[in-house]
A and B are shown apart, each in its own frame.
Chain A
Amino acid sequence: MRYLFRRTLHALFLLFGVSLLTFLFSALTPGNYFDEMRLNPQISPETIAALRAQYQLDRPLPIRYIHWLNAVAHGQLGFSFAYNSPVGPLLWSRARNTLLLTITATLLAWLLALPLGVWSAAKFGRAPDRILSWTTAALMVVPDLVLALGLLILAVRTGWFPTGGLVSLSFDALSPLQKLRDLASHMALPVTALVLAALPMLVRHVRASVAEVLEAPFLRAALGHGISHRKLLYSYALRAAANPLISLFGFSVGTLLSGSLLVEVIMSWPGLGPLLLEAILARDFYVVIGGVLLSMIFLVGGNLFADLLLYWADPRIRTAASAK
């Protein structure tokens, strides 16, 4: 329990740091949303000053930060100038879609990477391992931008998958089962891009850590006892190799969040990516800060989940934590 408490504290510290950092950067910004209005002769300087006062842009930075922290504590993330609405709900509706994409991609990538990596480690140095290594190396040199655009062109030219959007226009008229299928077909392309971009690194890590464990004496002993290969690999070796992999899990969430930002823009998936891009172009900086903070919250969530997994999977951490 203490272990978890410590990890949560650490996470909170990270969140606080990120919010402070982004706020500081925003203070250094030359120009803001209302600067564009100055060019418009129909808007008087008084109006702009009043607007600035309304959004408290005329206050000094520390006061703005405290105000904003206060708003965050009440579940709001500031106010969007461009949308003229609180940032919280705005971000949340988009963040749901990003989460849908990221969580699906994370699960799928790991579900593929674990058996592939273990299999590759079991055949270490032989033909299947070689082929897999070459495949992952080939995938590794194709960056996510190139991969996503390529998939998109493929989809457009073959017409196999819908391109862009979350659901079809006729979504409301569909039966629940059709709705699911519709959503899945829209998700197929972005999820494929994300999984393919994340997979090679995951497979290589799984292979490396399992291959390391496979040389351990306890596995030879288990083999001598006549325990089946499959059980040996997936139940014994994988468990012993789990520690670095679970840390990697937290990492992979971050990679996938970044990847999904780009993939969303490319495939016009209505997630955080397009919203953030718009906000940057419109100098709507509370939305940017909120978006960055939200991504951090997801990441911290992923890391906490990884910590929980580690606590469950690694007896050393449990005993170390209870011994204190």
Chain B
Amino acid sequence: MTQHRKLARWLIVLAALHCVIVAAGFFAPYSPIEQDRDRPYLPPMRVHIIDAHGHFPFRPFFYPLRLRENSFDQYEEDPATAVPLRFFVHGASYRLLGVVPSHLHLFGAANARIYLLGTDAYGRDQLSRILFGGQVSLLAGLLGAGVTLLLGALIGLAAGYYGDWRDDLLMRAAELFLALPWLYLLFALRAFLPLAVSPLEAFLLVVVVIGMVGWARPARLVRGVVLSVKERDFVRAARGFGASDLYLLRRHILPETSSVLLTQAAILVPQFVLAEMTLSFLGLGVPEPVSSWGNLLASLQQYSVLVSYWWMYLPALAIIPFFLGYLGLASALQERSSPYKIDEKSSWTLS
């Protein structure tokens, strides 16, 4: 009972997090590529409830930032003009889920622009870029995990079911992939693929590269399950009745591997999101102007940004709730699949 509740809790948390990213257009006040050239590297603005005179205007508001006197990069609040924050405003148009056209935004302001998390070098809103970047990073992670699990399940089924030399060959290959430090493997795979490509191609490349890195562990786990399942009585009985290999695999063996695959999915997705971040951070992934959690951080490789503009670090923190959610989900799934022994040795890293 409590296990179910735990699982449900983590699923709800994750669903909520993903909804925010999917509906990025609604939650983001501006378009992620809209530039405000007059305000590069604007620090995050503060939302106030009580104004300078101690009044309470019933509506959250903010003060637009202006340059401090005798300074060219120091901003201060302008207490003369309080701009009220408006909710459910019309703004830049976007497509929800890539289909439904809309221009409704959760919040915005009438005469001034609000940058809750500051702006980047081109004056683009960080919050919007983080939300839209999440779409790229999460999709890369989910698709990558899908590719990996498909590969892993196929290879594991083949190795476990057919056995013999096929098993030996595939498992030696799996050992090879397991043994390599995964970032080196990622680098090596990426190194041998084209560099200068369009954002969409780059995204697909990243998915393929990430997807090919991690198949070994799920393959081994699936193989283990298959080895024990194929000797079970119901499988033998089905075979005795003349069931074909394909039927046995599909009907009796694949369903038995589902809990292993689910747990692996919960472990792999956040790792692959991180892998995408790492590649894009290093300039090997999704390029500008499309934002992803990784390339948002790339500017931190410049010392001047590191010293002066701490809010450029904020995109890094976006992944933490997702890590937490998936970690919780993975451990809940593990508890469910082995209720008598809580496996604390869950391997949380790829290598």
List the interface of chain A (C-beta within 8 A of B): 13-14, 17-18, 21-22, 25-26, 28-31, 137, 140-143, 145-146, 149-150, 152-153, 156-157, 163-164, 201, 204-205, 207-209, 244, 251, 254-255, 257-259, 261-262, 265-266, 276-277, 279-281, 283, 285, 288-289, 291-292, 295-296, 299-300, 303
Contacts and interface: CB of A to CB of B under 8 A. Distances in A.
Contacts of B238: none
Contact of B179 (A22, A143, A258, A299): A299
Residue of B172, B187, B277, B303 with highest tally of chain A CB at under 10 A:
B187
Contacts, number: 148
B176 A14 contact: yes
A127 B251 CA distance: 48
Contact of A205 (B187, B194, B303, B345): B345
A277 B282 contact: yes
21 contacts: A18-B180, A29-B191, A140-B323, A140-B327, A141-B327, A145-B297, A146-B317, A153-B306, A156-B306, A207-B344, A208-B344, A254-B180, A257-B181, A258-B184, A258-B351, A261-B184, A265-B282, A288-B191, A292-B184, A295-B184, A296-B184
Interface in B295-351: 297, 300-301, 303, 306-307, 310, 313, 316-317, 319-320, 323-324, 327, 344-345, 347-349, 351
Given A143-B274, A254-B179, A281-B195, A25 B316 contact: no
Given A255-B181, A261-B181, A142 B320 contact: yes
Interface of B: 172-173, 175-176, 179-185, 187-195, 274, 277-278, 281-284, 297, 300-301, 303, 306-307, 310, 313, 316-317, 319-320, 323-324, 327, 344-345, 347-349, 351
A280 B284 contact: yes
B118 to A, nearest CB: 14
Query: DSSP class of A's interface residues: helix, strand, loop or mixed?
Result: helix
Nearest to B323: A141
Nearest to A11: B179
A146 B320 contact: yes
A244 B195 CA distance: 41
A146 B319 contact: yes
A152 B306 contact: yes
Contact of B188 (A30, A164, A283, A288): A288
Contacts of B188: 22, 25, 288-289, 292
Contact of B316 (A150, A257, A283): A150
B194 to A, nearest CB: 5
B194 A288 contact: no
Contacts of A292: 180, 184-185, 187-188
B120 to A, nearest CB: 16
A146 B173 CA distance: 32
